[in-house]
Structure 1
Amino acid sequence: MQVRLLGPVELRDGERGAVPVGPRARAVLAALALEAGRPVSVARLVCAVWPGDPPATSTTQIHGCVSALRRALGPDRGLLVTRPPGYLLRLDAEAVDALGFGARVREARAADRAGDAERAARLLTEALGGWSGPALAGVPGLHAEAALLEEQRLLALEERIRVDLARGAAADLVPELTGLCAGHPLRERFHAQLMVALARSGRRPEALEVYGKARRVLVAELGLEPGPELRRTHLNVLTGPPSAETTLPHDPADFTGRETELARVLTALGGPGARAALPIVAVSGRPGAGATALAVRAAYRMRARFPDGRLYVDLHFTADPAEVLGRLLRMLGVDSPPAGLAERAELYRARTHGRRLLIVLNDAGGEGQVLPLLPGGEGPAVLVAGRARLSALPGAVHVELAPLPVADALLLLARIAGTERVAAEPGAAARIVDLCDRLPLAVRAAAARLAGKPHWRLADLVRRLSDEDGRLAELAHGDLDVRPGLAATHAGLSAPARRAFARLGDGSFDRESPGNRDGRDHRDSRENKDALEELVDARLLEAVPGPSGHVGFRPPGLVRCFARGLTLRPEVGNATEEWG
């Protein structure tokens, strides 16, 4: 059985279609269906049938309506039962369209918070598609409930339009929003959304005219000026582009795993667990761990959450904060940014204040690079990716990337190299991802090499990768190369840390703890301890807890290969001799 409340009240049987029900019984049915699964008092049912003065026989008539409904529902089904102080309708939420509508809207909101705009739009469209007219039509005794349902419908409609705007459907929404503004002249959000849709369609004068008309109506009808959202939209349309450009790089189709880390990033940026007025998330990991790929994937997923733009800047190529601010301001529509750092920072904060922008800062080397680039006020958010742990970044949520789990690393290998090839040599496949340290970049490079060499067996690549002196060269394929990230990390080390790192390649560094060729133990020197900690912070060493509280250190496999390659360079050899 189905009860329809989002339009004329109707009882439907899947086998018989519409089931005839009298007008008073329909009112009782509607009141019971709104509270399906919960008892409804006889007094409440009386009010639903007779919103004014009920007749003296109202209670008796309610009992008669219940009897009629039991016959309509099927006397043997037990769907309508007596429960003090009245009656209870035994129907699931999906059997009552109004309750199903609410469930779908809640599900859509959860999808939106998770960054899944496509699913959110689909669910909201499905929920709104269940309406066939004014809610509870023909039941005047449930006027308040009908008004509440209509408000829920309008809120869902606003949300669906917001998601559609974020998905780039501005021009298609103009006719619908024009009608909504005419039908709901005091509903400011529809006016704001129409202004955005017009401005993004290249119709800025018309967008400004919408504001003027809405303001005149509000002043004439209510004696009130427009609220903050409509005023802010007017200012954005008047002074700058309604939407900043999106400058994200390509989102790899073979992105694999990282579901837990991605969920943490999405929640911290805009989900229900977001805890700051300016959300800041810092993703970090070893060179090749995929911090950039995860940040880009998250930024694409957050399109609906940040409809005003997602701006991407690679700090590896631009360390000067004034230059970076100039680039960001130009993305925000400022053709000629001011010259000074302070002036640029002030204008940047003003331009980002209150706007739903996501600023993605890639390859940040330290907090000093990031702090001048933080936007102003509520609305925007910042997502930082890089190798460095930005532990001093105030209020940031930190997401650390470990190597991929074996299953995800093998899945990534199979997606690129071919599922059948990986399945045919499972042992060799496992060995390849192990030799790649299960780093996404290295696994992707190995898989790309296999894809380009269809005549190779996986065992052939295992033999090549087993040679530590040539492993990194084997894991270079086009732009897929772990070495630049390792080199950049090495270049940022202090002199003592570089001397310690050189020992990783010349065989004088014990893989569990730092030894010394001449028998002297440098581990207790302050300089040596600081150097080792710096290498751990740079993720070039792993701290390994040992017995009795002793902490040893060992380099990951690809780091050791990189260090071996550096020993062939004279300047690194000199540093090694100085360390010894």
Structure 2
Amino acid sequence: MRVRLLGPVELCGEHGAVPVGPRARAVLAALALEAGRPVGVQRLARAVWPPSPPATATTQIQGCVSALRRAFGPARELLVTCPPGYLLALDADAVDALDFARKAGLARTAARLGDGERAALLLRQALSGWRGPALEGVPGLYAEAAQLEEQRLLALEARLQADLARGMAAGLVPELTALCAAHPLRERFHGQLMTALARSGRKPAAREAYRRVREALVGELGLEPGQELRRIQRDVLAGPEPAETTLPYDPADFTGRAAETLRVAEAVTSAALPIVVISGRPGAGSTSLAVHAAHQLRRRFPDGCLYADLHFTAEPLEVLGRLLRMLGVAEPPPGLAERAELYRARTRGRRLLVILNDASAERQVLPLLPGGEGPGVLVTGRSRLSALPGAVHVELAPLPPGEALELLARVAGYGRVAAAPEAARRLVELCDRLPLAVRSAAARLAGKPHWRLADLVFRLADEDRRLGELAHGDLDVRPGLAASHARLSARARRVFARLADGSFARLADGSFDRGEPDDLLEELVDARLLEVVRCEDSGRMSFRPPGLVRCFARGLSPRTEVGNATDDRG
């Protein structure tokens, strides 16, 4: 048997609701609220006849209990005579009001332990059992009904707070708007609505919500808003203005990467503190993708976008100083810990998008992560930063052939590419289909209208001069390759120098790796200077350098490289 109190009072058996008269239903409700504990006859009588039971109340209560036992049928032994009253021997999970209280208590424990997702799930389960006003049809239990309603509202507030902490602000606005209309003097709902509006980029609407609740409180109660509501008004609404956006421009000829852009957008807007790492070979376009995605996401981050170039080697202390100045701190504190603490405080709860470009390691990024829920983070670099906690990783391969040709055509001219399709295909392959290299080649063609595509293909075919031919203004693959090479340990640089000395053929056919420790080859892979090739038949793994890396290695002096590699970080 089950008793339902969170709505019209019902006794439910195996086949559904069991008919019970109104007086017996009141007795049932009073007993179920105290399931497992005795309830005196006088208390049962007040539940049936508020506020003054008749002189025959004891006899009539006995009749109600007899009627309930008939309704319980084979389970009649659950209703126990326990002088001076009766006891309903049901487990707590058989009474929806008690089950609700149990789940709400578990949710509070989960929240204290920092498990917001479990807390939200438990609260949703607890609230799902409500079918209407508690103890409906039993006016004698109005105090108990009011207490249950207050517990429901507290659980609802806790569930909404958990959802806000999980980054669901925009989706909560309609529900919170309705709750504020239904409970015009309940400050917690109004504070949550203000927070949800502000985090959704609707600060004017949030200020209007504060004005309305303040007018209601002063007009109805003669009271100013409480401390918590004033804090939200001060911190969320009267907080700092949007940070000055420092994004580089979004190139008009940005081409392809639609799937990667969508994945970045979904990841950076789907969690309380989303971190997305975009990585790939030098020239793969990780910076361009991050900037392109950031421009598309600016409306989702109304408090601004912060862009910091880490230049692969920048120290967190210096970068934090730059970020704090972007946030309006004229004189950042001198120490790393103090700067990091102030930075987290200035970014906590704000819908900011932070782009950390060209990072080299987790230790460089960790102090630059903003505080609390609200901000999103895009990190770019050659390193995968696989140890960065909670990060979503987006790996950039070379462009597909069609997208590489489209980029070439957009910059160099569609007519020239259409007139020489074979040369165009050969050209983008010589560029490894890397966006930076293709864009540089296309820019050279655009500046040389008298050149045919075949002319540039002829120049690029010479590996000793290919990288030089692909340098055009700021478009140059070599600095990225040089930075990756400079970060290698001394032993890995010696291996790379051997590649420059003619060992590519043996490396490509899998023979070279037998004589070299696996960790050195893996270091070159991590630096994006080698690619892994796995034989489908044998499963054997071998390594090969991409074409432009091979050209870079040919430009090094093996003797100089080995001679200068005196340190050993491998």
- TM-score bucket (shorter structure): 0.5 to 0.7
Tell me which amino acid in the other structure corresponds to 1:268: A
Equivalent position of 2:424 in the other structure: 429
Q: Does 224-233 or 504-513 show the bigger shift?
A: 224-233
Equivalent position of 1:548 in the other structure: 538
Alignment pair present for 1:217 and 2:207: no
Preserved CA contact (<8 Å) 2:201 2:300: no
Equivalent position of 1:290 in the other structure: 285
1: CA distance, partners of 2:259 / 2:203: 38
1: CA distance, partners of 2:487 / 2:554: 18
Tell me which amino acid in the other structure corresponds to 1:390: L
Tell me which amino acid in the other structure corresponds to 1:512: A
2: CA distance, partners of 1:328 / 1:562: 35
Instruction: Kindly provide the CA deviation profile for residues 450-482 of structure 1, in whole angstroms up to 9, marking residues without a partner as x.
Output: 000000000000000000000000000000000
Equivalent position of 2:255 in the other structure: 256
Tell me which amino acid in the other structure corresponds to 1:216: R
Alignment pair present for 1:446 and 2:441: yes
Preserved CA contact (<8 Å) 2:207 2:237: no
Equivalent position of 1:321 in the other structure: 316
Tell me which amino acid in the other structure corresponds to 2:311: H
Preserved CA contact (<8 Å) 1:211 1:234: no
Question: How far off is 1:439 after superposition?
Answer: 0.2
Instruction: Summarize the Cα distance change of 1:225–1:576 in structure 2 as closer, same or farther, 3 Å threshold.
Output: closer
Instruction: Summarize the Cα distance change of 1:499–1:255 in structure 2 as closer, same or farther, 3 Å threshold.
Output: same
2: CA distance, partners of 1:269 / 1:387: 20
1: CA distance, partners of 2:228 / 2:431: 53
Equivalent position of 1:491 in the other structure: 486
Question: How far off is 1:408 after superposition?
Answer: 0.2
Q: Secondary structure at the match of 1:338?
A: coil
Identify the match of residue 457 of structure 1 among 448, 452, 457: 452
Within-5 A mapping of 1:483-522: 483-509=478-504, 510-513=506-509, 515=511
Instruction: Kindly provide the CA deviation profile for residues 81-134 of structure 1, in whole angstroms up to 9, marking residues without a partner as x.
Output: xxxxxxxxxxxxxxxxxxxxxxxxxxxxxxxxxxxxxxxxxxxxxxxxxxxxxx
2: CA distance, partners of 1:383 / 1:361: 6
Preserved CA contact (<8 Å) 1:502 1:575: no
Instruction: Summarize the Cα distance change of 1:513–1:243 in structure 2 as closer, same or farther, 3 Å threshold.
Output: same
Equivalent position of 1:412 in the other structure: 407
Equivalent position of 1:531 in the other structure: 520
2: CA distance, partners of 1:316 / 1:576: 22
Equivalent position of 1:373 in the other structure: 368
Tell me which amino acid in the other structure corresponds to 1:277: A
Question: How far off is 1:234 after superposition?
Answer: 2.8
Tell me which amino acid in the other structure corresponds to 2:560: E
Within-5 A mapping of 1:225-264: 225=225, 231-236=231-236, 238=238, 241-264=240-263
Tell me which amino acid in the other structure corresponds to 2:548: L
Tell me which amino acid in the other structure corresponds to 1:549: G
1: CA distance, partners of 2:367 / 2:550: 36
1: CA distance, partners of 2:318 / 2:255: 34
Q: Secondary structure at the match of 2:278?
A: strand
Q: Does 540-549 or 380-389 show the bigger shift?
A: 540-549
Question: How far off is 1:485 after superposition?
Answer: 0.3
Q: Secondary structure at the match of 1:566?
A: coil
2: CA distance, partners of 1:454 / 1:331: 43
2: CA distance, partners of 1:315 / 1:383: 13
Question: How far off is 1:281 after superposition?
Answer: 0.3
Instruction: Summarize the Cα distance change of 1:522–1:560 in structure 2 as closer, same or farther, 3 Å threshold.
Output: closer
Identify the match of residue 467 of structure 1 among 462, 469, 481: 462
Alignment pair present for 1:402 and 2:397: yes
Task: Normalising by structure 2, report the TM-score.
Answer: 0.61
Q: Secondary structure at the match of 1:216?
A: helix
2: CA distance, partners of 1:332 / 1:576: 42
Alignment pair present for 1:305 and 2:303: no
Instruction: Kindly provide the CA deviation profile for residues 168-221 of structure 1, in whole angstroms up to 9, marking residues without a partner as x.
Output: xxxxxxxxxxxxxxxxxx988689979999999xxxxxx999798556314225
Question: How far off is 1:289 after superposition?
Answer: 0.1
Instruction: Summarize the Cα distance change of 1:489–1:403 in structure 2 as closer, same or farther, 3 Å threshold.
Output: same
Tell me which amino acid in the other structure corresponds to 1:242: E
Instruction: Summarize the Cα distance change of 1:562–1:277 in structure 2 as closer, same or farther, 3 Å threshold.
Output: same
Preserved CA contact (<8 Å) 2:490 2:566: no
Instruction: Summarize the Cα distance change of 1:191–1:394 in structure 2 as closer, same or farther, 3 Å threshold.
Output: closer
In structure 1, stretches of 5+ residues that fail to align are 1-157, 163-185, 201-206, 516-520
2: CA distance, partners of 1:493 / 1:194: 46
2: CA distance, partners of 1:265 / 1:555: 28
Q: Does 242-251 or 225-234 show the bigger shift?
A: 225-234
Preserved CA contact (<8 Å) 1:215 1:226: no
1: CA distance, partners of 2:199 / 2:400: 48
Equivalent position of 1:267 in the other structure: 266
Preserved CA contact (<8 Å) 1:199 1:242: no
Preserved CA contact (<8 Å) 2:513 2:521: no
Preserved CA contact (<8 Å) 2:285 2:434: yes
Preserved CA contact (<8 Å) 1:192 1:233: no
Instruction: Summarize the Cα distance change of 1:311–1:229 in structure 2 as closer, same or farther, 3 Å threshold.
Output: farther
Question: How far off is 1:230 after superposition?
Answer: 7.8
Alignment pair present for 1:332 and 2:327: yes
2: CA distance, partners of 1:334 / 1:549: 56
Q: Does 352-361 or 408-417 show the bigger shift?
A: 352-361
RMSD over aligned Cα, in angstroms? 3.5
Tell me which amino acid in the other structure corresponds to 2:524: L
Within-5 A mapping of 1:135-154: none
Instruction: Summarize the Cα distance change of 1:438–1:227 in structure 2 as closer, same or farther, 3 Å threshold.
Output: farther
Alignment pair present for 1:343 and 2:338: yes
Aligned length: 380
Preserved CA contact (<8 Å) 1:499 1:578: no
Instruction: Kindly provide the CA deviation profile for residues 284-318 of structure 1, in whole angstroms up to 9, marking residues without a partner as x.
Output: 00000000000001111111111111100000176
Preserved CA contact (<8 Å) 1:416 1:444: yes
Question: How far off is 1:278 after superposition?
Answer: 1.0
Tell me which amino acid in the other structure corresponds to 2:235: L
Instruction: Summarize the Cα distance change of 1:213–1:578 in structure 2 as closer, same or farther, 3 Å threshold.
Output: closer
Tell me which amino acid in the other structure corresponds to 2:514: R
Question: How far off is 1:500 after superposition?
Answer: 1.1
2: CA distance, partners of 1:221 / 1:422: 73
User: Which protein has the larger Cα radius of gyration, Structure 1 or Structure 2?
Assistant: 2
Equivalent position of 2:555 in the other structure: 565
